[in-house]
């Protein structure tokens, strides 16, 4: 009989991904959460995973081999308290993943304040295109795969030979040296700096032991768990300490905080991107490495941030043997990730986009990318400050500048602990703030006209605002 794990907090993106991976690996998987509802509940149930609403102590009768604990679970949770009282075996999600499923994999970890999901999706797709069939766990749904998590699917008889360092799939594109530590295949993981569990306050990513690590950027975020930027830098330094000397760190040369991290100690070769000395890309999308032309990037993605994401993915893929030309060819067919400048529909000549941006830097780069695409057409930015950091108001003073590229700003201020009107006052009449979502939608639809582009930005569902807007605009 297969081993049985019971996951507490299973409906989060990360823990739901672990559940899917465990099921694929042959485990019996059950789980519970406070909010068991679609779409995650549907995804899990279709995989044969039993879901339970709430954290009732009767779940102990399932008698799993181990309880896997998500970081939404805290002391006082009735099920967790009884697990502790009875001294039952439990482990965090990241540690279970690392010890059970990643130990024999060549792990490629993508860390950073911004762009983790998109860059992870790019990297996984480049490896897939090269015939390496990677496993992955990504905090979004890459449209090239339509799933957020899977185990490596490369048949054992097609694994690269450690002796020859060649031969994968049928295309012969693999030119790297496959070391013993990667005999279980390649695994791309979005490496989050958020804390692991109530009993393990290290960042999740310290568990993954990557051989290839991307440090995409680093800014202050997660004000609910980090006191300042220095505290986050310390966690990134812990990650750097886990990368072997035979591995590779791909680091953003434009992020001063990453220089600070690496100066604290680094025992691994580093390739930089975003500078002439390392990986760089010009206005014509020509990619260079140390000044030598590697080829051109031909795609439809918007924004300088995505061009930098691409450089990081190309560098990481090259480390495992994928030629740069092949990586560039893969990116021409990259379809992005759901909720990353995703067009949700067009109604009345008005285009509605959905984007995950919730940090001022991400908001600014997303708007700049859309501005580059639409030229002088009007952009209506619709913002829900929903992340824990945003709710605390830590970033509120940076919001007006981040929204500069928008022609009109609509902000939903429900459940905020700070004055959104005051924070956005520098925008003058350009900003509309409402605490009632229906009223906000009414004002957006009244203001919008044919040819406009409505960019909705939130890290949550935003009350289904995209669908409602499209329905009302159609009338």
Contact 43, 16 (CB under 8 A): yes
Distance CA(342)–CA(460), nearest Å, equals: 14
114 vs 14, more confident: 14
- For the stretch 264-274, pLDDT in tens is 999 999 999 99
* DSSP class per residue in 124-164: HHHHHHTT---EEE-SS-BTTTS-SEE-----GGGSPPTTT
How confident is the model at residue 290, as a pLDDT? 94
% of the chain surpassing 90 pLDDT: 52
**For the chain, which domains are there?**
4-93 (3.40.50.720), 102-331 (3.40.1190.10), 342-474 (3.90.190.20)
Which H or E run includes 401? helix 399-402
pLDDT class for 471, splitting at 50, 70, 90?
Answer: confident
Highest mean pLDDT among 243-252, 353-362, 445-454: 243-252
CA distance 11 to 88: 22
Share the mean pLDDT of the chain: 86
pLDDT at 178 over 50: no
Q: Would you state the pLDDT for residue 388?
A: 66
- Contact in structure between 415 and 434 (CB atoms under 8 Å): no
Per DSSP, 250 falls in state E
pLDDT of residue 385: 80
Tell me the C-alpha distance between 209 and 445, whole Å. Answer: 49
Q: Give 82: exposed, middle or buried? Use CB within 10 Å, 0-12, 13-18, 19+.
A: middle
Q: Across 234-298, where does the E strand assignment appear?
A: 248-252, 270-273, 279-281, 286-289, 292-296
> Is 205's pLDDT higher than 50?
yes
Mean pLDDT of 95-107: 95
Q: Residue 39: is the preceding peptide bond cis (ω within 30°)? A: yes
Q: Which residue has the higher pLDDT, 295 or 42?
A: 295
Q: What is the pLDDT of residues 209-229, one digit of tens each?
A: 999 999 998 887 766 677 788
Q: What is the percentage of the chain residues whose pLDDT exceeds 70? A: 89
Q: How far apart are CA 98 and CA 184, in angstroms?
A: 13
393 falls in which pLDDT band (50, 70, 90)? low
pLDDT at 389: 65
| Band of pLDDT at residue 275, cut at 50, 70 and 90 | very high
| Per-residue confidence (pLDDT) for residue 222, from 0 to 100 | 65
Instruction: Identify which has the larger pLDDT, 450 or 170.
Output: 450
Give the C-alpha separation, 250 to 215, whole Å.
Answer: 6
> Lowest mean pLDDT: which of 71-80, 149-158, 392-401?
149-158
Residue 10: CB partners within 8 Å, gap ≥ 6? 16, 19, 31, 32, 33, 44, 49, 51, 70
* pLDDT grade for 391, boundaries at 50, 70 and 90: low
As beta bridge partners, residue 110 has 190, 214
Residue 174 has pLDDT above 60, yes or no: no
Q: Please give the pLDDT value at position 432.
A: 85
Helices and strands (DSSP H and E) totals, the chain: 15, 23
The per-residue pLDDT for range 19-43, each reduced to its tens digit, is 999 999 999 999 999 987 666 778 7
Task: Round to whole Å and give the CA distance between 281 and 266.
Answer: 26
What pLDDT score was predicted for residue 38?
A: 67
Q: Which residues contact 67 (CB under 8 A, 6 or more apart)?
A: 5, 6, 7, 8, 83, 88, 89, 90, 91
Identify which of 334, 321, 333 has the alpha carbon closest to the alpha carbon of residue 169.
321
> Residue 9: left if φ>0, alpha if ψ -120 to 50, beta else—which one?
left
State how far the Cα of 76 lies from the Cα of 36, in Å rounded to an integer.
20
* Predicted confidence (pLDDT) at residue 158 exceeds the cutoff of 90: no
Chain centroid, CA 39 distance in Å: 18
Is the model more confident about 47 or about 316? 316
Closest CA relative to residue 118, chosen from 329, 279, 356: 356
pLDDT band at 45 (very low <50, low <70, confident <90, very high): confident
Distance CA 207, CA 99 (A): 9
């Amino acid at each position: 009989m297969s081993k049985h794990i019971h996951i507490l907090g299973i409906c989060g993106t990360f823990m739901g991904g672990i559940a899917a991976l465990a099921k694929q690996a042959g485990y019996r998987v059950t789980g519970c959460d406070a909010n068991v509802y679609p779409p995650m509940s549907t995804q899990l149930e279709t995989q044969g995973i039993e879901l339970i609403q709430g954290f009732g102590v009767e779940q102990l009768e399932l008698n799993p081999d181990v309880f896997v604990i998500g970081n939404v679970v805290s002391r006082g949770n009735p099920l967790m308290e009884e697990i502790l009282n009875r001294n039952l075996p439990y482990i965090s999600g990241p540690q279970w993943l690392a010890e059970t499923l990643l130990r024999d994999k060549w792990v490629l970890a993508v860390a950073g304040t911004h762009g983790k999901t998109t860059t992870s999706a790019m990297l996984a797709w480049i490896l897939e295109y090269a015939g390496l069939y990677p496993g992955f766990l990504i905090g979004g749904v890459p449209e090239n795969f339509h799933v957020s998590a899977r185990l490596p699917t490369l048949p054992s008889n097609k694994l690269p030979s450690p002796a020859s360092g060649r031969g994968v799939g049928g295309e012969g594109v693999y030119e790297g040296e496959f070391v013993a530590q990667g005999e279980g295949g390649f695994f791309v993981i979005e490496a989050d700096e958020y804390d692991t569990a109530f009993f393990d306050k290290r960042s999740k990513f310290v568990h993954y032991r990557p051989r290839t690590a991307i440090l995409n950027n680093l800014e202050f975020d997660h004000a609910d768990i980090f006191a300042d930027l220095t505290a986050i830098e310390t966690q990134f330094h812990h990650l750097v300490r886990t990368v072997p000397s035979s591995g590779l760190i791909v680091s953003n040369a434009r992020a001063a905080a990453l220089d600070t991290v690496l100066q604290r100690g680094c025992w691994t070769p580093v390739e930089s991107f975003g500078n002439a000395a390392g990986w760089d890309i010009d206005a014509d999308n020509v990619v260079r490495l140390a000044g030598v032309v590697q080829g051109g990037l031909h795609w439809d993605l918007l924004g300088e941030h995505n061009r930098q994401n691409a450089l990081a993915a190309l560098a990481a893929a090259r480390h495992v043997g994928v030629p740069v030309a092949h990586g560039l060819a893969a990116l021409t067919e990259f379809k992005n990730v759901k909720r990353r400048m995703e067009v949700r529909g067009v109604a009345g000549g008005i285009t509605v986009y959905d984007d995950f941006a919730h940090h001022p830097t991400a908001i600014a780069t997303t708007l700049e990318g859309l501005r580059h695409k639409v030229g002088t057409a009007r952009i209506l930015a619709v913002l829900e400050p929903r992340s824990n950091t945003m709710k605390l108001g830590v970033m509120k003073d940076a919001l007006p500048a981040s929204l500069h590229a928008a022609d009109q700003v609509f902000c939903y201020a429900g459940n905020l602990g700070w004055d959104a009107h005051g924070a956005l006052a520098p925008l003058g009449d350009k900003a509309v703030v409402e605490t009632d979502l229906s009223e906000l939608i009414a004002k957006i639809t009244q203001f919008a006209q044919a040819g406009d582009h409505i960019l909705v930005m939130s890290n949550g569902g935003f009350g289904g605002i995209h669908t409602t807007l499209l329905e009302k605009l159609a009338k």
